[in-house]
């Protein structure tokens, strides 16, 4: 039960601040909340859209959680998922049209994961070899990778003429929409990738509980000096954790390309990499908690569109930040990183 | 050419220097300040709001006040609630981003920018903020090295238990350091908005992170930190000047400050040792 | 007895989580006296003193100073004239001596810090109390003894009348200790002043204190006046029962054969580049326990780090069963049969925050791993067996290791390291801060390990421990071995002279 105190507190503070802001712009809180509820969980389309928004949030949260369990702060998801998306798109469009779908999906997703893992591993290596703090390292790498992508995705290089996006991937490499199996979802954008997020959550849980690597990551994250004295190689743990974290961030990019856009477009992420931290914290770094937290943030994010006619949709951005701050204040125990 | 380059460097350096000085006050007291980015942004917005309502001076006051308040929140979270400094800082940045866009919509009914604003003087040399910034660098140095507050702040960042055992109100001293960082970064944000004669959404554009890098590069000391800011600003100015020459490859020049920072961080260019209790909770 | 004591504690209690550190203790400090508080590690001495110094608020009970209740804040205690010198120094390394002394009560000139007056104040106090120190030096550059002087100057600067010294001589040389005691006696002799010394060195306490209070497990068990008690009486009161610890039986000679652990000209640097271990040569044969004695800070920590594989030697080599392992990492050395009990169990030995079993698995995961999968069931069974053998008092292997007492935590570490496949065991201060019951178990198991043929290197500051367990004792002084003696030859006086650098054995020094 104690696990639920911090998240409950955070949501309460969020509602309180939300009410104040809604009153400040001259609207009735109850009315706004009911519009938000109706536009999300009120109909099949809304539910589908919430799932659609929650999928990348869950993956981004899992990505952050993997690193966090090893005591590392990966705030480089923006760069990792962007390059992951680009790699997915490039492989997906280069495949022969006749490629069977399992192979096409495997190749395109694999490319995204590998690209994300490489971008994640770089600050890991910088920390392991040279002691460069991973927070600053990942921030700086974000800027570098995004600039690089900017250069790559231009007409004459990877982009279509007169555009900032690549050509579409082959049909076999796309992830089908959920609504083609469940018509009740009313043509919403949710894809089967939602199930992928659930699978990754389970894998994460299994990996940390049942593998030796998972044990080593957690041991190092909790007590680095004891872990090293016990023969766990710090450098290896740091690089592996950052690569795994980056790889899952790469999945966020692959999901965007294969499950939604079907091509790569610069600047698609909209800060989802940073939201991953919020999801991980609200979910108390536990895979199941992360799935639930992603649903909550997905609801807020979809709800923003629903309430935009009544209050500025930026309200939701403020509320998401409030949730983060409240949960950060109330869960200093989850973030027990550091030297002690 | 050289003249414009140097003038441009000065203008680009002002927000870096102010934000980075702020970073020094926060981090010497042991509080990691990734929230400089959000503080710059908040300062810029409230400078625009104040300047729009009652002129430049009101803009500056509003910028400093709002940003210091935001910093107070960061300090409260990190020091009183023992929150993780990096996570709290990210939250503050997201709050600043959301709140400025929400207020932009609520106050100016625009998703992208404020109306045009009055500026300050013609050119950077005539700007009182240039001279103000230079004075603030000197003042910061003196405040840290030669005042009781500076001594207490440094002690709090190095060994808070020791300071506490001598009756120093460690928590209060640290929070004061963070609030000072907000005030300074807010001033930097005000310069951004006033220099552009406009607030635009997300106009801090990563400058807070560069300022943080300058804090590391300058080994947490005001004068070297200001020098690091000048260096980064010079790289920026150079990139703007070279853009015409390198049209298709401008991104590679854009990368320079970040790559340089990574190199510093990895110890390829000197080493710098942070305050002993930086990030401690 | 004077009507109002300088300070008095009335029925104070303090708990940390489950641990009841101090329970209902009464204590008066009279003006003019030197009061000693003695007790085993973990008996609650430091906690009691921290309540007197306003650092911890008592859960119940009251602290009065000069008849008035003391608010539980350091500032209030300082204002009331109580100054505490902590066992672990509270100094800011990157500030100067003068800055450390005046911190919190700075002399000012307008807005500014008056460093001139700060320096002058330090000079005057050092002259008055015979505590020579340069006010402009950085604390980082000072020796341990000098740092303690800065600590004392800090409290003197604040006009302390009641000086509390927590284990003040643990880190000092005998000469420094003598000077400190002289200073403390002179201080207490002043009008309205007093000194409280916390210690476990009974002979020292008997020579300096007017009155001696014994704590055991958080309770006050006896009070004695000097001259009316003996070291034996105090020791029995501290421990609570008479304990006969296991010891190496005389005539049980070590086995012959080549050394399983050899250090050849080992040099290790500290982080700041200074030499910590300066060309040590030693060998430990199977079935032998070799002790390393010395005052803390003479290279012991760096020696252990280098042997364990956590620090790279600057020169020389480490040889394990005839194989040079100097360039191998921790895991590779473990695989070749090295087990290490590190000095700081909370930092290096345990995974606080996880279960006993998970701490037990540290460095031994391969024993319960098959194809990358970690068999937690089999781990729990092994951990439970280890816990039984070492008499670890805990509910079971899934208990959080942080919930265990210090002694039980140390037994977990020992169970893991002694239970590991090994030929060489390095034990650094294995009984520091643990209760007598745990010491008994650890001695028994170290001796059993020796009997099984392991080569054991025991680093300890406790001469009694070394004499009870070791075949040979080496003395480390400033990173060099300055003396060697068999357990029979090693008297406290002889080891003490080596430990303080007063004398050395030529052959060992030139190694």
CATH at A90: 1.10.3470
- Inter-chain touch A226–C351, beta carbons under 8 Å: yes
pLDDT above 50 for C511 = no
Q: How far apart are the first and last CA of chain C?
A: 59
What is the pLDDT of chain C when averaged over all its residues?
A: 88
CA–CA distance, A63 with A25 (Å, rounded to integer): 37
Asked if pLDDT for residue A108 goes beyond 90, the answer is yes
- Each residue's pLDDT tens digit, B82-111: 998 988 999 999 999 999 999 999 999 998
Hey, what are C321's tokens? 């069963």
Measure the CA–CA gap between A99 and A113, rounded to whole angstroms: 20
Q: Are C185 and C24 spatial neighbours (Cβ–Cβ below 8 Å)?
A: no
Euclidean distance between CA atoms A136 and A80, whole angstroms: 15
Binned at pLDDT 50, 70 and 90, residue B123 comes out as confident
3-state secondary structure of B43: helix
Question: pLDDT grade, residue C490 (50/70/90)?
Answer: confident
C350/chain A closest Cα distance in angstroms: 6
Nearest CA in chain C to B159: C92
Residue C286 pLDDT exceeds 70: yes
- Of chain B, the percentage scoring pLDDT greater than 70 comes to 97
Chain A closest-CA separation from residue B122 CA (Å): 32
Chain A CB contacts of C353 under 8 Å are 222-223, 336
Chain A nearest C-alpha distance from B89 (Å): 9
Q: What is the mean pLDDT of residues C105-128?
A: 93
Query: What residues of chain A lie within 8 A of the CB of C360, using their CB?
Result: none
For residue C473, report the phi and psi dihedrals to the nearest 5 degrees.
Answer: -125, 125
3-class SS letters over chain A: CHHHHHHHHHHHHHHHHHHHHHHHCCCCHHHHHHHHHHHHCCCHHHHHHHHHHHHHHHHHHHHHHHHHHCCCCCCCHHHHHHHHHHHHHHHHHHCCCCCCHHHHHHHHHHHHHHHHHHHHHHHHHHHHHHCCCHHHHHHHHHHHHHHHHHHHCCECCCECCCCCECCCCCHHHCCCEHHHCCHHHCCCCCECHHHHHHHHHHHHHHHHHHEHHHHHHHHHHHCHHHHHHCCCCHHHHHHHHHHHHHHHHHHHHHHHHHHHHCCCECCCCCCHHHHHHHHHHHCCCCHHHHHHHHHHHHHHHHHHHHHCCCCCCHHHHHHHHHHHHHHHHHCCCCCCCCCC
CA–CA gap between residue A42 and residue C117 (Å, rounded): 74
Nearest CA in chain A to C330: A231
**Tens of pLDDT, residues C318-352:** 999 999 999 999 999 999 999 999 988 888 999 98
Distance CA A136, CA A142 (A): 10
Residue from B15, B67, B71 nearest B43 by CA: B67
Residues C428, C305: Cα–Cα separation, whole Å: 10
> B257-266, C193-202, C277-286: which has the minimum mean pLDDT?
B257-266
Q: Average of pLDDT values for C378-404?
A: 91
**How far does Cα C440 stand from its chain's mean position?**
19
Report pLDDT digits (tens) over C450-488. Answer: 999 999 999 998 788 898 899 999 999 889 999 999 888
Closest chain A C-alpha to B109 CA, distance in angstroms: 9
Mutate to test the interface with C, among A69, A223, A333 (most CBs of C within 10 A): A223
Question: Residue A168 — φ and ψ, nearest 5°?
Answer: -70, 155
Two tokens at A251? 């999945």
What does DSSP say about strands C275-285 and C259-269: parallel, antiparallel, or unpaired? Answer: antiparallel
CA distance C207 to B209: 61
Is the predicted pLDDT of residue C404 greater than 90, yes or no? no
Of B142, B147, B162, the CB nearest to C92: B162
B148/C108 Cβ within 8 A: yes
Q: What is the pLDDT at residue B260?
A: 79
pTM flag (> 0.90): no
Query: For the segment C413-428, what is each residue's pLDDT rounded down to a tens digit?
Result: 999 999 999 999 999 9
Residue length of chain A: 340
CA dihedral B47, B51, B52, B54 (to 10 degrees): 140
Cβ of C372 and A222 within 8 Å?
A: no
Which chains does C contact via 3+ CB–CB distances below 8 A? A, B
**Which token pair is B107?**
């106050």
> What is the C-alpha to C-alpha distance for residues A330 and A169, in angstroms, rounded to an integer?
44
- Angle, alpha carbons C479-C485-C491 (nearest 5°): 105
What are the pLDDT digits (tens) for C34-91?
A: 999 988 766 888 889 999 999 899 999 999 998 899 999 888 999 999 999 987 788 9
* pLDDT band at residue C312 using 50, 70 and 90 as cut-offs: very high
Q: Taking CB atoms and an 8 Å limit, are C310 and A218 in contact across chains?
A: no
At residue C417, the pLDDT reads 96
Cβ proximity of C204 and C169 under 8 Å: yes
d(CA C80, CA B167): 12
Widest pairwise Cα distance in chain C: 76
Indicate whether A197 pLDDT > 90: yes
Q: What is the pLDDT of residue A280?
A: 92
Distances (CA, A) of C489 to B224, C498, C511: 60, 13, 21
CA A289 vs CA A159, A221, C120, C497: distances in Å: 39, 20, 61, 62
Reading the block at residue C30, the tokens are 């009279």
Give the residue from C304, C349, C363, C376 with the most A CB atoms within 10 Å of its CB, the best one to mutate. Answer: C363
Please provide residue A64's backbone torsions phi and psi, each rounded to the nearest 5 degrees: -60, -40
Which one of A211, A214, A226 has the shortest CB-CB distance to C350?
Answer: A226
Mapping DSSP onto H, E and C, the string for C435-459 reads CHHHHHHHHHHHHHHHHCCCEEEEE
Q: Which residue of B has its CA nearest to C91?
A: B162
Distance CA B95, CA B67 (A): 12
pLDDT score recorded for residue C243? 62
Pairwise CB contact (< 8 Å): C372 & A212: yes
Q: Residue A2: pLDDT band by 50, 70, 90 thresholds?
A: low
Contact C74 B150 (CB under 8 A): no
Q: In this structure, which topology does domain B2-271 adopt according to CATH?
A: ABC transporter involved in vitamin B12 uptake, BtuC (1.10.3470)
Q: Which of C92, C99, C138 to mutate to test the interface with B (most CBs of B within 10 A)?
A: C92
| Residue C379 and residue A236 in contact, taking contact as beta carbons nearer than 8 Å | no
pLDDT score recorded for residue C40 = 73
CA distance C431 to C422: 21
Structure token pair of residue C161:
């009348």
Buried b (16+ CB within 10 A) or exposed e, B81-116: bebbbbbbbbbbbbbbbbbbbbbbbbebeeeeebee
**How much of chain C exceeds pLDDT 90, in percent?**
59
The chain A residue lying nearest B110, using CA atoms, is A312
- What would the pLDDT profile of B12-30 be if each residue is shown by its tens digit? 999 999 999 999 999 999 9
A213:C376 CB<8 A = no
Structure tokens belonging to residue A335? 């973030």
Stretch among A152-161, C310-319, C433-442 having the lowest mean pLDDT: C433-442
What's the confidence (pLDDT) of residue C394? 85
Tokens of C231: 């070291």
Nearest to C104 among B142, B147, B168 (CB): B168
Judged against a pLDDT cut of 90, whether residue C195 lies above it is answered with yes
What does the alpha-carbon distance between residue A169 and residue A52 come to, in Å, rounded to a whole number? 20
Domain count, chain A: 1
Verify whether the Cβ–Cβ distance A332 to B251 is below 8 Å: no
- Give the pair of three-digit tokens for residue C287: 């079935």
Nearest to C55 among B148, B150, B165 (CB): B165
For residue A120, pLDDT beyond 80: yes
Q: Which two tokens stand for residue C237?
A: 């009161």
Q: Does C114 touch chain B (CB under 8 A)?
A: no
**What residues does each domain of chain B span?**
2-271
Q: How many CB atoms lie within 10 A of CB C56?
A: 19
C-alpha B22: how far from chain center: 6
Residue C304 has pLDDT above 50, yes or no: yes
Instruction: Give the per-residue pLDDT at C492.
Output: 75
pLDDT level of residue B270 (50, 70, 90 thresholds): low
How confident is the model over C200-211, as a mean pLDDT? 83
Give C336's contacts in chain A (Cβ within 8 Å): none
% of chain B exceeding 90 in pLDDT? 63
B150–C94 C-beta distance less than 8 A = no
Interface of C with A (CB under 8 A): 308, 310, 329-331, 334, 340, 342, 347-354, 358, 361-363, 365-366, 369, 372-374, 376
**Model confidence pLDDT, tens digit, residues A48-64:** 999 999 999 999 999 99
HSE-CB at B97 with a 13 A cutoff on CA atoms is 22
Please tell me the distance from the alpha carbon of residue C282 to that of residue C306, in angstroms, as a whole number. Answer: 14
- B48 CB-contact burial (10 Å; exposed 0-12 / middle 13-18 / buried 19+): buried
pLDDT score of B191: 95
Q: What's the rounded Cα separation, in Å, for the pair C325 and C316?
A: 11
Q: Is A26 exposed, middle or buried (0-12, 13-18, 19+ CB in 10 A)?
A: exposed
Element (H, E) at B145: helix B128-146
Write the CA distances from B30 to A220, B277, C94, C232, integer angstroms: 24, 6, 14, 49
Q: Mean pLDDT across the stretch A330-336? A: 60
**Does position B120 have pLDDT exceeding 70, yes or no?**
no
Structural domain that includes position A25: 2-338
Residue C161: pLDDT over 60: yes
Q: Which residues contact A306 (CB under 8 A, 6 or more apart)?
A: A35, A36, A38, A39, A40, A46
Q: Are B159 and C103 a contacting pair at CB < 8 A? A: no
Cβ-defined contact of A151 to B281 (cutoff 8 Å):
no
Alpha-carbon distances of A267 from A2, A79, A330, rounded to whole Å:
39, 11, 33
In angstroms, the Cα distances linking C498 to A57, C173, C284, C472 are: 65, 11, 21, 15
Q: Where are the alpha helices (DSSP H) in C361-461?
A: 376-389, 406-419, 436-451
Q: Which residue of chain B has the CA closest to C53? A: B165
Where is C473: in which H helix or E strand?
Answer: strand C472-477
pLDDT at B205: 87
CB pairs under 8 A between A and B: 136
């Amino acid at each position: 039960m104690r696990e639920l105190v911090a998240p409950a507190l955070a949501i309460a503070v969020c509602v309180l601040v939300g009410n104040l802001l809604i009153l400040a712009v001259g609207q009735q809180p109850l009315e706004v909340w009911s519009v938000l509820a109706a536009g999300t969980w009120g109909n099949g389309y809304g539910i589908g859209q919430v799932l659609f928004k929650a999928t990348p949030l869950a993956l981004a949260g899992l990505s952050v959680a993997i690193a966090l369990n090893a005591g590392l702060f990966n705030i480089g998801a923006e760069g990792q998922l962007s390059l992951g998306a680009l790699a997915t798109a490039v492989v997906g469009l280069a495949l022969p049209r006749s490629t069977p779908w399992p192979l096409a999906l495997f190749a395109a997703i694999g490319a995204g994961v590998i690209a994300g893992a490489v971008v994640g591993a770089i600050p890991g290596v910088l920390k392991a070899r040279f002691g460069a703090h991973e927070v600053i390292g990942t921030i700086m790498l974000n800027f570098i990778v995004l600039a690089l992508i900017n250069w790559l995705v231009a007409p004459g290089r990877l982009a279509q003429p007169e555009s900032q996006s690549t050509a579409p991937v082959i049909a076999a490499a796309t992830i089908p929409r959920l609504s083609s199996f469940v018509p009740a979802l009313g043509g919403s954008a949710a894809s089967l990738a939602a199930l992928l997020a659930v699978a990754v959550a389970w894998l994460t849980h299994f990996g940390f509980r049942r593998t030796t690597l998972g044990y080593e990551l957690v041991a190092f994250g909790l007590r680095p000096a004891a872990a090293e004295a016990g023969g766990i190689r710090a450098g290896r743990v740091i690089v592996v954790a950052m690569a795994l974290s980056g790889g899952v961030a790469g999945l966020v990019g692959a999901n965007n390309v294969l499950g939604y856009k079907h091509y790569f477009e610069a600047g698609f992420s909209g800060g989802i990499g940073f939201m991953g931290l919020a999801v991980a914290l609200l979910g108390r770094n536990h895979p199941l908690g992360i799935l639930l937290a992603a649903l909550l943030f997905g609801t807020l994010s979809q709800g923003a569109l629903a309430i935009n006619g009544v209050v500025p949709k930026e309200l939701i951005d403020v509320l998401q930040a409030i949730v983060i701050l409240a949960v950060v204040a109330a869960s200093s125990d989850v973030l027990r990183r550091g030297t002690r | 050419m050289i003249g414009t380059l140097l003038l441009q460097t000065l203008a680009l350096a002002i927000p870096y220097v102010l934000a980075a000085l702020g970073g020094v006050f926060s981090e010497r007291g042991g509080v990691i300040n990734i929230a400089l980015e959000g503080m710059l942004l908040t300062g810029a917005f409230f400078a625009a709001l104040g300047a729009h309502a009652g002129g430049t001076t009101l803009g500056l006051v509003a910028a400093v006040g709002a940003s210091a308040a935001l910093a107070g929140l960061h300090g409260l979270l990190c020091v009183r609630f023992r929150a993780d400094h990096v996570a709290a800082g990210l939250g503050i940045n997201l709050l600043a981003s959301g709140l400025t866009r929400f207020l932009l919509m609520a106050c100016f009914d625009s998703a992208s920018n404020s109306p045009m604003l009055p500026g300050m003087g013609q050119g950077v040399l005539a700007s009182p903020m240039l001279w103000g910034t230079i004075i603030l660098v000197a003042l910061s140095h003196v405040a840290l090295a030669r005042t009781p507050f500076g001594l207490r702040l440094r002690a709090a960042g190095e060994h808070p238990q020791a300071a506490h055992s001598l009756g120093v109100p460690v928590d209060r001293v640290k929070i004061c350091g963070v609030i000072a960082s907000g005030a300074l970064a807010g001033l930097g944000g005000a310069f951004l908005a006033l220099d552009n004669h406009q607030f635009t959404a997300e106009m801090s554009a990563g400058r807070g992170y560069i300022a943080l890098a300058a804090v590391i590069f300058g080994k947490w000391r005001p004068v070297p930190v200001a020098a690091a800011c000048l260096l980064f600003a010079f790289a920026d100015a150079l990139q703007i000047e070279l853009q015409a020459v390198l049209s298709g490859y401008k991104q590679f020049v854009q990368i320079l400050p970040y790559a340089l920072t990574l190199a510093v961080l990895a110890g390829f260019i000197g080493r710098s040792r942070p305050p002993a209790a930086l990030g401690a909770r | 007895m004077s009507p109002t004591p300088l300070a008095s504690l009335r029925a104070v209690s303090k708990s940390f989580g489950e641990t009841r550190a101090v329970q209902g203790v009464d204590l008066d400090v009279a003006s003019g006296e030197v009061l000693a508080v003695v007790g085993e590690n973990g008996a609650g001495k430091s906690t009691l003193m921290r309540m007197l110094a306003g650092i911890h608020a008592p859960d119940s009970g009251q602290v009065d100073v000069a008849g008035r209740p003391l608010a539980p804040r350091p500032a209030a205690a300082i204002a009331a004239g109580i100054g505490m010198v902590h066992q672990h120094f509270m100094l800011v390394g990157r500030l100067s001596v003068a800055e450390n002394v005046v911190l919190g009560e700075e002399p000012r000139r307008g807005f500014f810090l008056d460093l001139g007056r700060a320096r002058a104040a330090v000079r005057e106090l050092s002259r008055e109390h015979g505590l020579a120190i340069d006010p402009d030096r950085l604390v980082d550059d000072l020796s341990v003894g000098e740092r303690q002087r800065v600590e004392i100057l800090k409290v003197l600067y604040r006009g302390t009348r009641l000086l509390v010294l927590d284990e003040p001589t643990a880190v000092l040389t005998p000469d420094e200790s003598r000077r400190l005691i002289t200073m403390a006696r002179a201080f207490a002799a002043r009008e309205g002043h007093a000194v409280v010394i916390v210690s476990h060195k009974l002979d020292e306490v008997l020579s300096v204190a007017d009155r001696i209070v014994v704590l055991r497990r958080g309770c006050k068990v006896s009070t004695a006046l000097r001259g009316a008690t003996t070291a034996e009486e105090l020791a029995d009161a501290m421990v609570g029962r008479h304990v006969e610890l296991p010891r190496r039986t005389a005539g049980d000679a070590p086995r012959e054969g080549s050394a399983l652990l050899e250090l050849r000209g080992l040099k290790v640097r500290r982080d700041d580049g200074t030499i910590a271990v300066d060309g040590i040569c030693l060998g430990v044969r199977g079935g032998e326990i070799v002790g390393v004695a010395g005052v803390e800070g003479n290279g012991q920590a760096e020696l252990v780090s280098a042997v364990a594989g956590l620090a790279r030697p600057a020169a020389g080599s480490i040889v394990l069963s005839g194989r040079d392992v100097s360039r191998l990492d921790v895991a590779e050395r473990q695989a070749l049969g090295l087990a290490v009990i590190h000095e700081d169990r909370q930092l290096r030995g345990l995974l606080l925050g996880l279960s006993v079993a998970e701490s037990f698995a540290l460095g031994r995961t391969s024993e319960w791993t098959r194809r990358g999968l970690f068999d937690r069931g089999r781990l729990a069974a092994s951990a439970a067996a280890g816990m039984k053998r070492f008499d670890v008092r805990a509910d079971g292997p899934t208990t959080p290791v942080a919930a265990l007492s210090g002694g039980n935590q140390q037994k977990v570490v020992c169970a893991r390291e002694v239970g590991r496949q090994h030929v060489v065991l390095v034990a650094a201060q294995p009984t520091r801060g643990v209760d007598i019951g745990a010491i008994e178990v650890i001695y028994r198991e170290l001796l059993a390990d020796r009997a099984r043929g392991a080569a054991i290197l025991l680093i300890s500051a406790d001469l009694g421990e070394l004499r009870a367990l070791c075949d040979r004792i080496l003395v480390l002084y400033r990173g060099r071995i300055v003396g060697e003696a068999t357990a029979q030859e090693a008297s406290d006086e002889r080891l003490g002279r080596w430990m303080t650098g007063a004398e050395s054995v030529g052959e060992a020094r030139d190694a």
